Chain A
Amino acid sequence: SQKIEQNSEALNIQEGKTATLTCNYTNYSPAYLQWYRQDPGRGPVFLLLIRENEKEKRKERLKVTFDTTLKQSLFHITASQPADSATYLCALDDYNQGGKLIFGQGTELSVKP
């Protein structure tokens, strides 16, 4: 069956450290993968998109990798801050269903001062 999975347990880290979140998928062949941030009571906000032919993408303190062999994307926040505390969602396009986006369940990140 098709699945997209993120760490179900919350991730707690100390301020200044690097947070690494994982997104694994099975039985999909995505052309790209996206990462979103969601704060409590708000809608998700787009952060980064990485295509299947890209290994890595960076934006300020954020870095995303995409390994189509392992069927995995890693999302890194370097020099993390308490303001980075939120839930992070990955999403991939389902090419076989007209490019609809399929979301993971999200990982809650808590950065302690």
Chain B
Amino acid sequence: NAGVTQTPKFQVLKTGQSMTLQCAQDMNHEYMSWYRQDPGMGLRLIHYSVGAGITDQGEVPNGYNVSRSTTEDFPLRLLSAAPSQTSVYFCASSYSSGQGQETQYFGPGTRLLVL
């Protein structure tokens, strides 16, 4: 199993450009999440999905869109990039138990720089 894969590894954007960060998992997990990680801030949840066709907002959703058309894929779209979106982005997947998400499996991350 490849686990959770993310592309690209690095990206530089200009302010106002749009792009899509790709995330895929091959573990048949129901839950998928997007986090951003900034120095001193820890991991903050952007959007998450509890299954195909179902998405919801996390702590910092503004400026980002997601969709979940298949169990495997969960792309994150930046609509109009801003310097404040410079960060490292992690995608994660997990199976669910009766109490919500269990162990999260993280991808390697995408480093994004917005100029």
Chain A min CB distance to B43 (Å): 4
Residues of A contacting B34 with CB < 8 Å?
none
Q: List 28 A-B contacts (CB under 8 A).
A: A31-B99, A32-B99, A34-B104, A36-B104, A41-B109, A42-B108, A42-B109, A43-B106, A43-B108, A46-B104, A46-B105, A49-B102, A49-B103, A91-B43, A91-B104, A93-B101, A95-B100, A98-B50, A99-B99, A100-B48, A100-B58, A101-B33, A101-B101, A101-B104, A103-B42, A103-B43, A104-B42, A106-B42
Chain A: residues with CB nearer than 8 A to chain B? 8, 31-32, 34, 36, 41-46, 49, 89, 91, 93, 95, 98-106
Chain B: residues with CB nearer than 8 A to chain A? 4, 33, 35, 40-45, 48, 50, 56, 58, 90, 92, 96, 99-109
Give bound CA distance, A57 to B50, whole Å.
28
Chain B contact residues: helix, strand, loop or mixed: strand
Contact of A105 among B33, B42, B92, B99 (CB under 8 A): B42
Residues of B contacting A41 with CB < 8 Å?
109
Residues of A contacting B90 with CB < 8 Å?
43-44
8 tightest Cβ-Cβ pairs between the two chains A and B: A99-B100, A43-B106, A105-B42, A103-B43, A31-B99, A46-B103, A103-B42, A44-B106
- Cross-chain contact B45 with A100 (CB below 8 angstroms): yes
Residues of A contacting B41 with CB < 8 Å?
105
Give bound CA distance, A111 to B74, whole Å.
37
Contact of B43 among A45, A49, A89, A98 (CB under 8 A): A89
Give bound CA distance, A100 to B59, whole Å.
10
- Cross-chain contact B40 with A105 (CB below 8 angstroms): yes
Given contacts A43-B90, A44-B43, A104-B42, contact A93 B99 (CB under 8 A): yes
Look across to chain B and name the residue whose beta carbon is closest to the beta carbon of A98.
B100
Chain B min CB distance to A25 (Å): 13
Given contacts A42-B109, A43-B108, contact A100 B43 (CB under 8 A): no
Chain B min CB distance to A48 (Å): 10
- Cross-chain contact B107 with A43 (CB below 8 angstroms): yes
